[in-house]
A = this chain, B = another copy of it.
Amino acid sequence: MVFSTTTQYALKILAYLNEHKEGLCSAKTLSEELDIPYKYLTKIMTKFTKNEMIESVQGRYGGFKLIDSKIITIYDILKLCDGDSAKDCIIGKIECNERKRCHYHDAWQKPRESIKKDFLDADLKGCISKES
């Protein structure tokens, strides 16, 4: 696996919110639309809210929405869901420093740069879904 189930849920949720900027999306709607276990989803949503990645409105007719002014990168999402992973090297746990490179460094170099540049640093709102 590359991204955890939680991260994948998160990506789906935020993409959905991004496509429904007018008004609020309830956890029920998100759960049904995105096929994510309701209770698990609410757990994630609360975490997002606490970390000020999204806004929540409580009470009846409440729900969630993106914060317009806020730029969220995919790296932000990863940090929040998978913890402190996705650091510089994504292989990780293999000892290395400037002097000593692991066996895979060169092969990993290009993908690594591409992930960082084209994906992790990408603003969520800049990603556009297509249907054709």
Interface residues in chain A, defined as those with a beta carbon under 8 Å from any beta carbon in chain B: 1-5, 8, 11-12, 15, 18-19, 74, 82, 85-86, 90-94, 99-111, 114-115, 118-119, 122, 126-132
The answer to whether B92 touches A2, judged by C-beta atoms less than 8 angstroms apart, is yes
Distance, CA A11 to CA B89, complexed state (A): 14
**For A5, A82, A99, A118, which residue has the most chain B Cβ atoms within 10 angstroms?**
A118
- A99: which of B18, B114, B132 is its contact (CB, 8 Å)? B132
In the assembled complex, 27 residue pairs joining A and B whose CB atoms fall closer than 8 Å, in A order, are: A1-B86, A2-B85, A2-B91, A3-B90, A8-B91, A11-B103, A11-B104, A12-B102, A15-B102, A15-B104, A99-B131, A99-B132, A100-B129, A100-B130, A101-B131, A104-B119, A105-B130, A106-B128, A107-B119, A107-B126, A108-B118, A110-B114, A110-B118, A110-B119, A111-B114, A111-B118, A111-B119
